[in-house]
Amino acid sequence: MPWRPAVAVCVLVVSGLQPSPAPPRAAPPMPPALRGMDEPITPMPPAPALDPRKVQLGERLFGDRRLSRDDSKSCLSCHDISTNGASTRPHDVDLDGAELPFNTLTVFNATHNFRFGWEGKYREVGADVTSSLVNPRIMGSDLNTIANKLKQDPVVRAGFFAAYGRGPDGDNIVDALVNYEKTLVTPGSRFDRWLEGDGTALSSEELEGYHQFKSLGCVSCHQGVNVGGNLFQRRGIFHPLSSPDPAILRVPSLRNVGTTPPYFHDGSAPTLEEAVRKMGVSQLNATLTDHQIKAIVAFLRSLTGEYRGAQVGGEP
């Protein structure tokens, strides 16, 4: 439950590619009417229209500590919706205080990924939610125990009857959480506005960064509505990158990446600049110039969207 959205500027490139020391000239602007048709990245759509009773119930459950074995943690403990949908720690900790193996991915826009988790083990949102609830190191509970706890709360029980016509059970607990997570999308980034025809939404530096992002090959893995999240890729194609295992990971989304340090599956890159520099060496076999890194980072920061009318927090 995002390299984190850690930056994986991973690419499929020809061995030995080296960027020119001098930045290439920015591509000429495309007419607004044609821009969205030809770009490899598409705008983030608004949240789907869902039953508000289920969404409201799911939001309540997302912050309910009774979903954990010892009532000590909620989904919000690792996925802070008020900031970046994740946390600021390289590794969150389990119920016993030990570090979890992976950096926490942001929950924002997660439902647009084709698989869930760093290893992409789950194909459906509900399977990912269920896994987190029953994983002994995350929430450490089981659906029947959670349902029995919630049945003791008359307000929550009434919410389930209003949304589902019955009290809490394993199926509708997961379904409510899934409905809420589907609303955790962040449209309205400046880059989205540019895609939609606003020629003033991006600065010349951000446009240059996007041109670099495409011409260097970053977009080979980071494209589509989520700017990633839709394929698997091997890390360390040319040179080692962060901790070696697992060798193949789901490519993370770069949406809101400016708000989600530290980066990579092990949280080993503290800044976006360092993550871009390391990815250039590892995946491109290229030493990016400071100018290139600065422009690419400027573009990446333009991917920060809005949630409930406010910009996703945590961006410097």
pLDDT digits (tens, 9 = 90+) for 8-46: 434 333 333 344 444 445 445 555 544 556 899 999 999
Q: How far apart are CA 43 and CA 83, in angstroms?
A: 22
What confidence score (pLDDT) does residue 245 get? 82
What residues pair up with 233 in beta bridges, in sequence order?
249
Q: Indicate the CATH number of 52-182 among 3.30.499.10, 1.10.10.10, 1.10.760.10, 3.30.1380.20.
A: 1.10.760.10
Of 263, 238, 228, 240, nearest to 18 by C-alpha is 238
Q: How far apart are CA 54 and CA 181, in angstroms?
A: 11
pLDDT interval class at 123 (50, 70, 90): very high
Of 182, 183, 213, 196, nearest to 301 by C-alpha is 213
52-182 has the same fold as 32-45+186-311: yes
Q: How far apart are CA 181 and CA 43, in angstroms?
A: 19
Q: Is 58 left (phi over 0), alpha (psi -120 to 50) or beta?
A: alpha
Q: How far apart are CA 31 and CA 241, in angstroms?
A: 39
Average pLDDT over residues 120-133: 96
Residues 6+ positions from 309 with CB-CB distance below 8 Å: none
For the domain spanning 32-45+186-311, the CATH number is: 1.10.760.10
Of 273, 275, 297, 282, nearest to 203 by C-alpha is 297
Residue 315 has pLDDT above 70, yes or no: no
What confidence score (pLDDT) does residue 32 get? 52
Element holding 250 (H helix, E strand): strand 248-250
What are the structural domain ranges in the chain? 32-45+186-311, 52-182
- Which structure tokens are listed for 183? 């609303």
pLDDT digits (tens, 9 = 90+) for 62-97: 999 999 999 999 999 999 999 999 999 999 999 999
Q: How far apart are CA 113 and CA 117, in angstroms?
A: 9
pTM exceeding 0.95: no
In the three-class reduction of DSSP (H, G, I as helix; E, B as strand; rest coil), residue 133 is classed as: helix
Of 294, 302, 239, 250, nearest to 271 by C-alpha is 294
Average pLDDT over residues 278-296: 95
Residue 107 has pLDDT above 80, yes or no: yes
